[in-house]
Protein backbone atom coordinates (compact mmCIF):
# COMPACT_ATOMS: atom_id res chain seq x y z
CA UNK A 1 0.00 0.00 0.00
CA UNK A 2 2.88 2.31 0.88
CA UNK A 3 4.26 1.95 -2.60
CA UNK A 4 0.88 2.39 -4.18
CA UNK A 5 0.44 5.72 -2.41
CA UNK A 6 3.88 6.87 -3.48
CA UNK A 7 3.18 6.10 -7.12
CA UNK A 8 -0.14 7.82 -6.85
CA UNK A 9 1.36 10.89 -5.23
CA UNK A 10 4.16 10.92 -7.75
CA UNK A 11 1.72 10.90 -10.62
CA UNK A 12 -0.30 13.62 -9.02
CA UNK A 13 2.82 15.75 -8.85
CA UNK A 14 3.67 15.08 -12.45
CA UNK A 15 0.14 15.92 -13.44
CA UNK A 16 0.18 19.24 -11.57
CA UNK A 17 3.59 20.22 -12.92
CA UNK A 18 2.62 19.34 -16.49
CA UNK A 19 -0.63 21.23 -16.18
CA UNK A 20 1.13 24.30 -14.81
CA UNK A 21 3.78 24.18 -17.49
CA UNK A 22 1.36 23.77 -20.37
CA UNK A 23 -0.88 26.55 -19.20
CA UNK A 24 2.03 28.93 -18.64
CA UNK A 25 3.21 28.29 -22.18
CA UNK A 26 -0.28 28.76 -23.59
CA UNK A 27 -0.82 31.93 -21.60
CA UNK A 28 2.49 33.39 -22.56
CA UNK A 29 2.24 32.61 -26.25
CA UNK A 30 -1.28 34.03 -26.38
CA UNK A 31 -0.09 37.20 -24.70
CA UNK A 32 2.79 37.38 -27.13
CA UNK A 33 0.64 36.86 -30.21
CA UNK A 34 -2.05 39.31 -29.18
CA UNK A 35 0.53 41.92 -28.18
CA UNK A 36 2.15 41.61 -31.61
CA UNK A 37 -1.24 41.95 -33.24
CA UNK A 38 -2.00 45.10 -31.29
CA UNK A 39 1.43 46.46 -32.17
CA UNK A 40 0.74 45.85 -35.83
CA UNK A 41 -2.63 47.57 -35.47
CA UNK A 42 -1.02 50.64 -33.91
CA UNK A 43 1.76 50.70 -36.42
CA UNK A 44 -0.67 50.54 -39.32
CA UNK A 45 -2.71 53.35 -37.83
CA UNK A 46 0.41 55.47 -37.40
CA UNK A 47 1.73 54.80 -40.89
CA UNK A 48 -1.47 55.90 -42.55
CA UNK A 49 -1.41 59.35 -41.02
CA UNK A 50 -1.51 61.13 -44.41
CA UNK A 51 -4.74 59.64 -45.59
CA UNK A 52 -7.59 60.03 -43.12
CA UNK A 53 -9.99 57.84 -45.08
CA UNK A 54 -7.53 54.98 -45.29
CA UNK A 55 -6.68 55.45 -41.64
CA UNK A 56 -10.33 55.20 -40.73
CA UNK A 57 -10.73 52.10 -42.84
CA UNK A 58 -7.78 50.42 -41.21
CA UNK A 59 -8.94 51.44 -37.73
CA UNK A 60 -12.36 49.89 -38.30
CA UNK A 61 -11.58 46.90 -40.49
CA UNK A 62 -8.66 45.41 -38.55
CA UNK A 63 -10.61 44.52 -35.40
CA UNK A 64 -13.65 43.49 -37.42
CA UNK A 65 -11.66 41.05 -39.52
CA UNK A 66 -10.12 39.52 -36.41
CA UNK A 67 -13.40 39.28 -34.53
CA UNK A 68 -15.25 37.81 -37.49
CA UNK A 69 -12.46 35.32 -37.97
CA UNK A 70 -12.62 34.38 -34.29
CA UNK A 71 -16.36 33.99 -34.43
CA UNK A 72 -16.37 31.85 -37.59
CA UNK A 73 -13.49 29.74 -36.39
CA UNK A 74 -15.27 28.99 -33.13
CA UNK A 75 -18.51 28.37 -34.97
CA UNK A 76 -16.92 25.88 -37.31
CA UNK A 77 -14.58 24.05 -34.94
CA UNK A 78 -16.45 24.05 -31.69
CA UNK A 79 -19.40 26.28 -30.79
CA UNK A 80 -18.81 25.30 -27.17
CA UNK A 81 -15.82 27.62 -27.11
CA UNK A 82 -18.03 30.71 -27.34
CA UNK A 83 -18.40 32.87 -24.25
CA UNK A 84 -16.67 33.01 -20.95
CA UNK A 85 -16.63 29.38 -19.88
CA UNK A 86 -16.98 29.97 -16.16
CA UNK A 87 -20.80 29.55 -16.13
CA UNK A 88 -20.52 26.26 -18.01
CA UNK A 89 -17.78 24.99 -15.68
CA UNK A 90 -19.89 25.91 -12.73
CA UNK A 91 -22.71 23.74 -14.01
CA UNK A 92 -20.29 20.90 -14.81
CA UNK A 93 -18.87 21.04 -11.30
CA UNK A 94 -22.41 20.88 -9.94
CA UNK A 95 -22.77 17.54 -11.67
CA UNK A 96 -24.43 18.42 -14.97
CA UNK A 97 -22.91 16.73 -18.02
CA UNK A 98 -22.36 19.20 -20.85
CA UNK A 99 -21.60 17.53 -24.16
CA UNK A 100 -18.29 18.05 -25.97
CA UNK A 101 -17.35 20.79 -23.64
CA UNK A 102 -13.98 19.48 -22.52
CA UNK A 103 -12.54 18.29 -25.79
CA UNK A 104 -9.35 19.10 -27.66
CA UNK A 105 -11.44 20.70 -30.37
CA UNK A 106 -12.90 23.20 -27.92
CA UNK A 107 -9.38 23.88 -26.69
CA UNK A 108 -8.08 24.76 -30.14
CA UNK A 109 -11.12 26.86 -30.94
CA UNK A 110 -10.90 28.74 -27.67
CA UNK A 111 -7.17 29.43 -27.84
CA UNK A 112 -7.21 30.67 -31.44
CA UNK A 113 -10.49 32.54 -31.04
CA UNK A 114 -9.35 34.23 -27.88
CA UNK A 115 -5.98 35.21 -29.33
CA UNK A 116 -7.70 36.81 -32.30
CA UNK A 117 -10.21 38.51 -30.02
CA UNK A 118 -7.54 39.90 -27.72
CA UNK A 119 -5.47 40.98 -30.71
CA UNK A 120 -8.36 43.06 -31.99
CA UNK A 121 -8.21 45.40 -29.01
CA UNK A 122 -11.88 44.93 -28.18
CA UNK A 123 -12.91 45.01 -24.50
CA UNK A 124 -12.62 41.24 -24.11
CA UNK A 125 -11.39 39.51 -20.98
CA UNK A 126 -8.85 36.74 -20.84
CA UNK A 127 -9.74 35.39 -17.42
CA UNK A 128 -12.99 33.54 -18.10
CA UNK A 129 -11.87 31.73 -21.26
CA UNK A 130 -8.64 30.86 -19.52
CA UNK A 131 -10.50 28.99 -16.84
CA UNK A 132 -12.14 26.99 -19.60
CA UNK A 133 -8.87 26.39 -21.44
CA UNK A 134 -7.12 25.23 -18.28
CA UNK A 135 -9.98 22.90 -17.40
CA UNK A 136 -9.89 21.32 -20.85
CA UNK A 137 -6.15 21.04 -20.48
CA UNK A 138 -6.54 19.33 -17.11
CA UNK A 139 -9.20 16.94 -18.38
CA UNK A 140 -7.26 16.01 -21.52
CA UNK A 141 -4.01 15.67 -19.60
CA UNK A 142 -5.53 13.31 -17.09
CA UNK A 143 -6.92 11.19 -19.94
CA UNK A 144 -3.55 11.14 -21.70
CA UNK A 145 -1.79 10.19 -18.50
CA UNK A 146 -4.21 7.36 -17.92
CA UNK A 147 -3.24 5.96 -21.34
CA UNK A 148 0.46 6.08 -20.56
CA UNK A 149 0.48 4.72 -17.07
CA UNK A 150 -2.60 2.59 -17.34
CA UNK A 151 -3.37 3.11 -13.69
CA UNK A 152 -3.91 6.81 -13.49
CA UNK A 153 -7.46 6.90 -12.40
CA UNK A 154 -7.92 10.19 -10.65
CA UNK A 155 -8.31 9.38 -6.99
CA UNK A 156 -11.15 11.77 -6.24
CA UNK A 157 -12.85 11.88 -9.58
CA UNK A 158 -13.37 14.47 -12.23
CA UNK A 159 -14.26 17.33 -9.90
CA UNK A 160 -10.83 17.54 -8.34
CA UNK A 161 -9.09 17.72 -11.66
CA UNK A 162 -11.38 20.45 -12.92
CA UNK A 163 -11.10 22.47 -9.71
CA UNK A 164 -7.33 22.50 -10.02
CA UNK A 165 -7.72 23.37 -13.68
CA UNK A 166 -9.81 26.42 -12.79
CA UNK A 167 -7.27 27.58 -10.24
CA UNK A 168 -4.42 27.25 -12.72
CA UNK A 169 -6.45 29.05 -15.35
CA UNK A 170 -7.02 32.15 -13.27
CA UNK A 171 -3.54 31.95 -11.75
CA UNK A 172 -1.48 31.86 -14.90
CA UNK A 173 -3.71 34.34 -16.72
CA UNK A 174 -2.15 37.34 -14.97
CA UNK A 175 0.42 35.60 -12.80
CA UNK A 176 -1.73 35.75 -9.67
CA UNK A 177 -1.53 32.31 -8.06
CA UNK A 178 -3.07 33.21 -4.72
CA UNK A 179 -6.00 35.19 -6.01
CA UNK A 180 -6.43 32.65 -8.77
CA UNK A 181 -7.02 29.79 -6.38
CA UNK A 182 -9.40 31.82 -4.24
CA UNK A 183 -11.32 33.29 -7.14
CA UNK A 184 -11.82 29.91 -8.75
CA UNK A 185 -13.07 28.50 -5.44
CA UNK A 186 -15.55 31.30 -4.93
CA UNK A 187 -16.82 31.26 -8.46
CA UNK A 188 -17.17 27.56 -9.14
CA UNK A 189 -17.74 25.70 -5.87
CA UNK A 190 -20.29 25.50 -3.12
CA UNK A 191 -18.44 22.99 -1.03
CA UNK A 192 -14.74 22.83 -1.37
CA UNK A 193 -12.29 20.08 -0.47
CA UNK A 194 -9.34 21.64 1.31
CA UNK A 195 -6.90 19.16 -0.25
CA UNK A 196 -7.62 20.79 -3.62
CA UNK A 197 -6.67 24.12 -2.14
CA UNK A 198 -3.16 22.82 -1.70
CA UNK A 199 -2.96 21.19 -5.11
CA UNK A 200 -4.35 24.30 -6.76
CA UNK A 201 -1.83 26.44 -4.93
CA UNK A 202 1.02 24.30 -6.12
CA UNK A 203 -0.01 24.13 -9.75
CA UNK A 204 -0.98 27.81 -9.94
CA UNK A 205 2.27 28.98 -8.35
CA UNK A 206 4.32 26.83 -10.66
CA UNK A 207 2.36 28.08 -13.63
CA UNK A 208 2.59 31.74 -12.61
CA UNK A 209 6.29 31.32 -12.00
CA UNK A 210 6.97 29.89 -15.45
CA UNK A 211 4.75 32.55 -16.99
CA UNK A 212 6.78 35.33 -15.38
CA UNK A 213 10.11 33.70 -16.14
CA UNK A 214 9.10 33.50 -19.79
CA UNK A 215 8.42 37.22 -19.90
CA UNK A 216 11.74 38.01 -18.22
CA UNK A 217 13.49 35.74 -20.68
CA UNK A 218 11.72 37.51 -23.53
CA UNK A 219 12.86 40.88 -22.10
CA UNK A 220 9.27 42.06 -21.77
CA UNK A 221 9.99 42.93 -18.19
CA UNK A 222 13.28 43.38 -16.40
CA UNK A 223 12.55 41.07 -13.52
CA UNK A 224 9.68 39.16 -12.00
CA UNK A 225 7.27 41.80 -10.78
CA UNK A 226 3.57 42.43 -10.70
CA UNK A 227 1.72 43.05 -13.94
CA UNK A 228 0.25 46.44 -13.04
CA UNK A 229 2.84 47.46 -10.52
CA UNK A 230 1.93 50.54 -8.50
CA UNK A 231 4.27 52.76 -6.57
CA UNK A 232 2.14 54.36 -3.90
CA UNK A 233 3.87 55.82 -0.91
CA UNK A 234 3.84 53.33 1.89
CA UNK A 235 4.36 55.38 5.01
CA UNK A 236 0.86 56.81 5.18
CA UNK A 237 -1.04 55.44 2.21
CA UNK A 238 -4.39 56.81 3.40
CA UNK A 239 -6.09 58.40 6.34
CA UNK A 240 -9.07 57.11 8.27
CA UNK A 241 -11.05 60.18 7.22
CA UNK A 242 -10.88 59.02 3.64
CA UNK A 243 -12.88 55.91 4.52
CA UNK A 244 -16.31 57.42 3.66
CA UNK A 245 -15.03 58.01 0.15
CA UNK A 246 -13.90 54.39 -0.07
CA UNK A 247 -17.27 53.26 1.24
CA UNK A 248 -18.99 55.37 -1.41
CA UNK A 249 -16.86 53.71 -4.09
CA UNK A 250 -17.86 50.33 -2.73
CA UNK A 251 -21.57 51.06 -2.62
CA UNK A 252 -21.63 52.75 -6.03
CA UNK A 253 -19.67 49.89 -7.53
CA UNK A 254 -22.24 47.54 -6.08
CA UNK A 255 -25.03 49.35 -7.90
CA UNK A 256 -23.04 49.74 -11.10
CA UNK A 257 -22.02 46.08 -11.03
CA UNK A 258 -25.62 44.98 -10.61
CA UNK A 259 -26.60 47.27 -13.46
CA UNK A 260 -23.87 45.78 -15.61
CA UNK A 261 -25.22 42.28 -15.02
CA UNK A 262 -28.76 43.52 -15.76
CA UNK A 263 -27.66 45.25 -18.97
CA UNK A 264 -25.73 42.21 -20.12
CA UNK A 265 -28.77 39.98 -19.62
CA UNK A 266 -31.10 42.44 -21.36
CA UNK A 267 -28.82 42.55 -24.39
CA UNK A 268 -28.91 38.77 -24.65
CA UNK A 269 -32.68 38.66 -24.23
CA UNK A 270 -33.33 41.41 -26.78
CA UNK A 271 -31.10 39.74 -29.33
CA UNK A 272 -33.05 36.56 -28.85
CA UNK A 273 -36.52 38.08 -29.19
CA UNK A 274 -37.94 37.82 -32.71
CA UNK A 275 -38.23 41.51 -33.60
CA UNK A 276 -37.94 43.08 -37.01
CA UNK A 277 -34.31 43.89 -36.35
CA UNK A 278 -33.26 40.38 -35.38
CA UNK A 279 -35.29 38.87 -38.22
CA UNK A 280 -33.48 41.07 -40.67
CA UNK A 281 -30.04 40.35 -39.19
CA UNK A 282 -30.51 36.61 -39.07
CA UNK A 283 -26.94 35.79 -38.21
CA UNK A 284 -25.59 37.06 -34.95
CA UNK A 285 -22.41 37.85 -36.81
CA UNK A 286 -24.13 40.62 -38.72
CA UNK A 287 -25.39 42.11 -35.53
CA UNK A 288 -22.05 42.30 -33.91
CA UNK A 289 -20.46 43.53 -37.12
CA UNK A 290 -22.81 46.42 -36.69
CA UNK A 291 -21.72 46.69 -33.06
CA UNK A 292 -18.09 46.72 -33.99
CA UNK A 293 -18.68 49.34 -36.63
CA UNK A 294 -20.44 51.54 -34.20
CA UNK A 295 -17.79 51.00 -31.60
CA UNK A 296 -15.05 51.91 -34.02
CA UNK A 297 -16.91 55.01 -34.98
CA UNK A 298 -17.19 55.95 -31.34
CA UNK A 299 -13.56 55.27 -30.86
CA UNK A 300 -12.71 57.62 -33.68
CA UNK A 301 -14.87 60.34 -32.25
CA UNK A 302 -13.30 59.79 -28.85
CA UNK A 303 -9.91 59.71 -30.49
CA UNK A 304 -9.46 63.41 -29.95
CA UNK A 305 -8.72 62.83 -26.31
CA UNK A 306 -6.11 60.19 -27.18
CA UNK A 307 -7.45 57.79 -24.57
CA UNK A 308 -8.44 55.28 -27.21
CA UNK A 309 -4.86 55.06 -28.36
CA UNK A 310 -4.16 53.17 -25.16
CA UNK A 311 -4.22 49.40 -25.31
CA UNK A 312 -6.22 47.72 -22.50
CA UNK A 313 -3.18 47.04 -20.31
CA UNK A 314 -1.66 50.45 -20.80
CA UNK A 315 -5.00 51.90 -19.91
CA UNK A 316 -5.09 50.15 -16.54
CA UNK A 317 -1.47 51.00 -15.84
CA UNK A 318 -2.11 54.67 -16.49
CA UNK A 319 -5.24 54.66 -14.31
CA UNK A 320 -3.17 53.29 -11.43
CA UNK A 321 -0.41 55.89 -11.73
CA UNK A 322 0.87 58.11 -8.97
CA UNK A 323 -0.03 61.52 -10.33
CA UNK A 324 -3.01 63.65 -9.47
CA UNK A 325 -4.30 64.51 -12.89
CA UNK A 326 -6.40 67.47 -11.84
CA UNK A 327 -3.25 69.10 -10.51
CA UNK A 328 -1.06 68.60 -13.52
CA UNK A 329 -3.61 69.27 -16.25
CA UNK A 330 -2.95 72.65 -17.81
CA UNK A 331 0.63 72.85 -16.66
CA UNK A 332 3.39 71.20 -18.72
CA UNK A 333 3.60 67.42 -18.25
CA UNK A 334 5.96 66.35 -15.47
CA UNK A 335 8.68 63.83 -16.31
CA UNK A 336 7.67 60.21 -15.91
CA UNK A 337 4.06 60.83 -16.82
CA UNK A 338 4.36 58.52 -19.79
CA UNK A 339 1.17 57.05 -21.19
CA UNK A 340 -1.03 58.79 -18.65
CA UNK A 341 -0.66 61.92 -20.80
CA UNK A 342 -3.37 60.40 -22.99
CA UNK A 343 -5.91 61.20 -20.30
CA UNK A 344 -5.07 64.89 -20.21
CA UNK A 345 -6.45 67.34 -22.68
CA UNK A 346 -5.68 71.05 -22.83
CA UNK A 347 -9.34 72.02 -23.29
CA UNK A 348 -11.44 69.26 -21.75
CA UNK A 349 -11.55 68.62 -18.02
CA UNK A 350 -10.20 65.33 -16.68
CA UNK A 351 -13.59 64.61 -15.12
CA UNK A 352 -15.37 64.82 -18.45
CA UNK A 353 -12.87 62.52 -20.12
CA UNK A 354 -13.08 59.98 -17.31
CA UNK A 355 -16.87 60.08 -17.22
CA UNK A 356 -17.15 59.78 -20.98
CA UNK A 357 -14.70 56.91 -20.99
CA UNK A 358 -16.62 55.17 -18.22
CA UNK A 359 -20.05 55.53 -19.85
CA UNK A 360 -18.86 54.47 -23.30
CA UNK A 361 -16.82 51.58 -21.99
CA UNK A 362 -19.68 50.48 -19.75
CA UNK A 363 -22.23 49.71 -22.42
CA UNK A 364 -19.60 48.57 -24.90
CA UNK A 365 -18.34 46.00 -22.41
CA UNK A 366 -21.85 44.84 -21.57
CA UNK A 367 -22.53 44.30 -25.28
CA UNK A 368 -19.14 42.87 -26.21
CA UNK A 369 -19.35 40.14 -23.57
CA UNK A 370 -22.43 38.80 -25.36
CA UNK A 371 -20.62 38.49 -28.70
CA UNK A 372 -20.24 34.97 -30.10
CA UNK A 373 -16.48 34.82 -29.50
CA UNK A 374 -14.49 33.53 -26.53
CA UNK A 375 -14.63 36.48 -24.20
CA UNK A 376 -14.51 37.08 -20.48
CA UNK A 377 -15.88 40.02 -18.57
CA UNK A 378 -13.25 40.27 -15.84
CA UNK A 379 -10.77 42.60 -17.46
CA UNK A 380 -13.31 45.01 -19.00
CA UNK A 381 -15.08 45.32 -15.66
CA UNK A 382 -11.73 45.76 -13.95
CA UNK A 383 -10.93 48.67 -16.27
CA UNK A 384 -14.39 50.14 -15.67
CA UNK A 385 -13.90 49.98 -11.93
CA UNK A 386 -10.47 51.54 -12.18
CA UNK A 387 -11.87 54.44 -14.22
CA UNK A 388 -14.70 54.94 -11.74
CA UNK A 389 -12.34 54.83 -8.77
CA UNK A 390 -10.01 57.28 -10.45
CA UNK A 391 -12.94 59.61 -11.04
CA UNK A 392 -13.86 59.57 -7.34
CA UNK A 393 -10.19 59.96 -6.43
CA UNK A 394 -9.76 62.98 -8.66
CA UNK A 395 -12.90 64.53 -7.21
CA UNK A 396 -11.52 63.96 -3.72
CA UNK A 397 -8.21 65.49 -4.75
CA UNK A 398 -10.08 68.56 -5.99
CA UNK A 399 -12.10 68.80 -2.78
CA UNK A 400 -8.99 68.53 -0.61
CA UNK A 401 -6.25 70.04 -2.75
CA UNK A 402 -3.86 70.30 0.19
CA UNK A 403 -4.52 66.83 1.53
CA UNK A 404 -6.16 65.85 4.78
CA UNK A 405 -4.59 66.96 8.02
CA UNK A 406 -4.72 64.49 10.87
CA UNK A 407 -2.61 64.47 13.96
CA UNK A 408 0.04 66.75 12.49
CA UNK A 409 0.53 64.72 9.33
CA UNK A 410 -0.80 65.84 5.97
CA UNK A 411 -2.21 62.98 3.94
CA UNK A 412 -2.18 63.73 0.24
CA UNK A 413 -5.00 62.14 -1.69
CA UNK A 414 -3.76 59.34 -3.94
CA UNK A 415 -6.22 59.01 -6.86
CA UNK A 416 -4.33 55.93 -8.06
CA UNK A 417 -5.21 54.16 -4.82
CA UNK A 418 -8.86 54.98 -5.39
CA UNK A 419 -8.58 53.49 -8.85
CA UNK A 420 -7.23 50.21 -7.48
CA UNK A 421 -10.01 50.04 -4.91
CA UNK A 422 -12.63 50.83 -7.53
CA UNK A 423 -11.31 48.07 -9.78
CA UNK A 424 -11.49 45.50 -6.98
CA UNK A 425 -14.95 46.62 -5.86
CA UNK A 426 -16.43 46.60 -9.37
CA UNK A 427 -15.13 43.16 -10.29
CA UNK A 428 -16.22 41.93 -6.88
CA UNK A 429 -19.74 43.24 -7.45
CA UNK A 430 -20.11 41.74 -10.92
CA UNK A 431 -18.74 38.31 -10.00
CA UNK A 432 -20.02 38.25 -6.39
CA UNK A 433 -16.59 37.44 -4.99
CA UNK A 434 -14.32 38.94 -2.37
CA UNK A 435 -11.08 37.44 -3.65
CA UNK A 436 -10.86 40.11 -6.34
CA UNK A 437 -9.14 42.07 -3.58
CA UNK A 438 -6.40 39.44 -3.46
CA UNK A 439 -6.08 39.48 -7.23
CA UNK A 440 -5.69 43.25 -7.02
CA UNK A 441 -2.90 42.99 -4.49
CA UNK A 442 -1.08 40.54 -6.66
CA UNK A 443 -1.61 42.56 -9.82
CA UNK A 444 -0.38 45.80 -8.29
CA UNK A 445 2.26 44.28 -6.03
CA UNK A 446 1.12 46.50 -3.16
CA UNK A 447 -0.98 45.57 -0.18
CA UNK A 448 -0.94 48.92 1.61
CA UNK A 449 -4.59 49.65 0.86
CA UNK A 450 -5.80 46.36 2.27
CA UNK A 451 -8.35 47.60 4.77
CA UNK A 452 -10.19 50.17 2.64
CA UNK A 453 -10.15 47.70 -0.22
CA UNK A 454 -11.70 44.94 1.86
CA UNK A 455 -14.34 47.38 3.12
CA UNK A 456 -15.16 48.54 -0.40
CA UNK A 457 -15.28 45.02 -1.84
CA UNK A 458 -17.54 43.77 0.94
CA UNK A 459 -19.89 46.74 0.60
CA UNK A 460 -20.01 46.27 -3.17
CA UNK A 461 -20.83 42.60 -2.65
CA UNK A 462 -23.57 43.36 -0.17
CA UNK A 463 -25.28 45.75 -2.55
CA UNK A 464 -24.81 43.67 -5.69
CA UNK A 465 -25.87 40.39 -4.09
CA UNK A 466 -29.07 42.02 -2.94
CA UNK A 467 -29.93 43.30 -6.41
CA UNK A 468 -28.85 40.81 -9.05
CA UNK A 469 -27.33 37.35 -9.41
CA UNK A 470 -23.67 37.23 -10.32
CA UNK A 471 -22.78 37.61 -13.97
CA UNK A 472 -22.04 33.88 -14.22
CA UNK A 473 -25.30 32.85 -12.59
CA UNK A 474 -27.13 35.31 -14.82
CA UNK A 475 -25.59 33.69 -17.91
CA UNK A 476 -26.51 30.24 -16.61
CA UNK A 477 -30.13 31.39 -16.13
CA UNK A 478 -30.28 32.92 -19.58
CA UNK A 479 -28.75 29.91 -21.31
CA UNK A 480 -31.11 27.46 -19.69
In contact, 393 and 212? CB cutoff 8 Å? no
Distance CA 85, CA 377 (A): 11
Residues 92-131 within binding reach of a copy of itself (CB under 8 A):
none
C-alpha–C-alpha distance, residues 51 and 48, integer Å: 6
Task: For the chain, state the CA radius of gyration.
Answer: 22
User: Which of 260, 441 has the CB closer to a copy of itself?
Assistant: 441
- Pick the stretch among 62-70, 182-190, 329-337, 468-476 that binds a copy of itself (CB under 8 A): 182-190
* Chain centroid, CA 329 distance in Å: 29
Query: Cβ of residue 214: shortest distance to a copy of itself, in angstroms?
Result: 12
Task: Map residue 27 onto helix, strand or coil.
Answer: helix
Site for a copy of itself in 247-306 (CB under 8 A): none
Q: Which residues contact 266 (CB under 8 A, 6 or more apart)?
A: none
Question: Toward a copy of itself, which CB reaches closer, 97 or 222?
Answer: 222
Using rule CB under 8 A, residue 434 touches a copy of itself: yes
Q: Does 158 help bind a copy of itself (rule: CB under 8 A)?
A: no
Dist. CA 66–CA 121, nearest whole Å:
10
Stretch touching a copy of itself by CB under 8 A, among 44-52, 156-164, 224-232, 289-297: 224-232
For a copy of itself, the closer of residues 20 and 123 by Cβ is 20
The C-alpha atoms of residue 89 and residue 139 are separated, in whole angstroms, by 12
Among 95, 234, 273, 336, binds a copy of itself (CB under 8 A): 234
Q: Give the Cα separation of 177 and 169 in Å (integer).
A: 9
Concatenated DSSP letters of 390-414: HHHHHHHHHHSTT-EEETTEEE---
| Binding residues for a copy of itself restricted to 184-223, rule: CB under 8 A | 185-186, 189-195, 197-198, 201-202, 205, 208-209, 212-213, 216, 222-223
Q: Count residues near a copy of itself (CB under 8 A).
A: 54
Shortest Å, Cβ 362 to a copy of itself: 26
> Helix axis angle, 378-399 relative to 350-368, nearest 10°?
160
225 binds a copy of itself (CB under 8 A): yes
DSSP 8-state secondary structure symbol assigned to residue 376: B
What is the x/- site pattern for a copy of itself, positions 444-463, by CB under 8 A? -xxxx-xx--xx--x--x--
Which residues of the chain form contacts with a copy of itself (CB under 8 A)? 177-178, 182, 185-186, 189-195, 197-198, 201-202, 205, 208-209, 212-213, 216, 222-226, 229, 231, 234, 236-240, 406-407, 409, 411, 434, 437-438, 441-442, 445-448, 450-451, 454-455, 458, 461
Amino acid sequence: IQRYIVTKLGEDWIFLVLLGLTMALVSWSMDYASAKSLQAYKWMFGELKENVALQYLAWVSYPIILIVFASFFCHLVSPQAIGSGIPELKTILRGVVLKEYLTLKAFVAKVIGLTAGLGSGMPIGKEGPFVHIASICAAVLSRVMSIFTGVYENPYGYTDILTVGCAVGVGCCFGTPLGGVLFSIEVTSTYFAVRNYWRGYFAATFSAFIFRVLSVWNKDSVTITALFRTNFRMDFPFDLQELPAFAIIGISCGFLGAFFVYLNRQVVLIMRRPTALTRFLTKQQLLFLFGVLWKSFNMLSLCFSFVTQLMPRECINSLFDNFTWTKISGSPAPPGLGRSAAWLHPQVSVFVILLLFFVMKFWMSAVSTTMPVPSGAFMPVFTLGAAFGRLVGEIMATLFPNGILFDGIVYQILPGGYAVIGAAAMTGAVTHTVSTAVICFELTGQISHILPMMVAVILANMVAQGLQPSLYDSIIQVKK
